[in-house]
Amino acid sequence: MTAYWKANQRRLAPLLFLAPGMLMFAIYVIIPIAQSMWISFYDWDGLGERVWIGTANYVELADDDSFYTSLKNNVIWLALYLLAVPAGLLIAIFLNQNVRGIRLYKSLFFFPFVISQVVVGLMFAWFYAPNFGLFYKLTEILFGSGTAVLADERFVTYGIIVAGLWPQIAYVMILYLTGLNNVAPDQVEAARLDGAKGWRMLWYVILPQLRPATFIAVVVTVIGALRSFDLVSIMTSGGPYGTSRVLSYYMYEQALSEYGYRMGYGAAIAVVLFGIMMIFISGFIWKMWRDETER
């Protein structure tokens, strides 16, 4: 036994080190993905008998208005969430100075990211609250009558996205601050001698060097946008009349709330969301894979 181990430990050690983590990850992440796909072909309330219904869940989904509302909101989320990238860059550039106390400013600007989305949601719910919310008051002064953002079908999704952007911008900002810290000073000086400044400097000299930071910022922002659940749940529970639902929330509502225990239907929604995210995930993985194998 010991002799065998001694002779083969270089081959066996990685297996040994990988086993516990792999096992946990397989049980809780990899296998459930396959199971969800499987469940999406059943009619199941989570407790009773599962009934195979083939693609019926997907057929129903194709004709479900709430599904399209959620899907549309997901697209809006994704598009607007990406604003966090330029906004975060802007704040990072603003804060990338060496004046007294700047470190404290940087930490305080980063603050929203440390706070739970539940708390962020409650803060913005207060901010938007009809009659006394700061934002409501502001619209009252500007337009004569106040707007209760979270109760208005036209604005509700945008109102939630703004709440989501707040911590996300902070996250992107910190990525870019680290990136800016590592920009080669000699290149900047050389470009400055050549007369580059302002936007041209940013575009031709700085941004190319910030590419790794931009990549991570885009990855976390896209994933964050498509994962959005907490804020919708806290701020509106999908309302008014389901107009602020996103796929992740609609799935939860179908599978596990007072609206019913339709595990199969919920799983089908999850599979669609998974499919959408896989497009992005494969892109990210492909790029990372290329970087790895080139090195």
State in angstroms the smallest separation of the CB of 145 from another protein.
18
By CB under 8 A, name the one of 185, 193, 199, 258 that touches another protein.
185
Nearest Cα to Cα of residue 152 among 132, 133, 129:
129
Q: Which member of 166, 221, 225, 243 binds another protein (CB under 8 A)? A: 166
**Residues in 18-47 that interact with another protein by CB under 8 A:** 18, 20-22, 24-25, 27-33, 35-36, 39, 46
Q: How many angstroms separate the Cα of 12 from the Cα of each of 16, 55, 158?
A: 6, 44, 54
CB burial of 189-218 (b: ≥16 within 10 Å; e: otherwise) equals: eebeeeebeeeebeeebbeeebeebbebbb
CA 68 – CA 73 distance, rounded (Å): 8
Task: State which of positions 266-295 bind another protein (CB under 8 A).
Answer: 266-267, 269-271, 273-274, 277, 280-281, 284-285, 288-289, 292-293
Return the residue of 14, 48, 144, 195 that touches another protein, per CB under 8 A: 14
AA letter at 197: K
For residues 288 and 292, give the distance between their C-alpha atoms in angstroms, rounded to a whole number.
6
CB of 144 to another protein, least distance (A): 19
Cβ distance to another protein smaller for residue 56 or 223: 223
Minimum CB distance to another protein smaller for 144 or for 198: 198
Helix (H, G, I), strand (E, B) or coil at 171: helix
Nearer to another protein, 241 or 289 (CB): 289
Please report where in the chains the tokens 């096992």 appear, as a residue: 23
CB 241, min distance to another protein, A: 20
- Smallest distance from the beta carbon of 34 to another protein, in angstroms? 9
Considering the complex, what minimum distance in angstroms separates the CB of residue 53 from another protein?
Answer: 16
Binding mask 217-246 for another protein (x = CB under 8 A): x-x---x--xx-xx--xx------------
- Span from 55-63, 75-83, 145-153, 205-213 in contact with another protein (CB under 8 A): 205-213
Burial of residue 165 (CB within 10 Å: 0-12, 13-18, 19+) is buried
The number of residues that bind another protein (CB under 8 A) is 108
Q: Which helix (H) or strand (E) holds 52?
A: strand 51-52
- SS3 (DSSP) at 51: strand
CA distance 244 to 154: 10
Burial class (CB in 10 A: 0-12, 13-18, 19+), 16: exposed
The reply on whether position 208 binds another protein by CB under 8 A is no
Scanning residues 118 to 157, which ones bind another protein (CB under 8 A)?
A: 118-120, 122-124, 126-127, 129, 132, 134, 137
Q: Which of 13, 51, 59, 142 binds another protein (CB under 8 A)?
A: 13
Cβ of 19: how many Cβ atoms within 10 Å? 10
Q: Give the nearer residue to another protein in terms of CB position, either 76 or 180.
A: 180
52 to 111, contacts with another protein by CB under 8 A?
A: 93-94, 96-99, 102, 105, 107-111
* Shortest separation between residue 210's beta carbon and another protein, angstroms: 9
Query: Least distance from C-beta 154 to another protein, angstroms?
Result: 22
Hey, what's the torsion of the CAs at 63, 69, 70, 71, to 10 degrees? 70
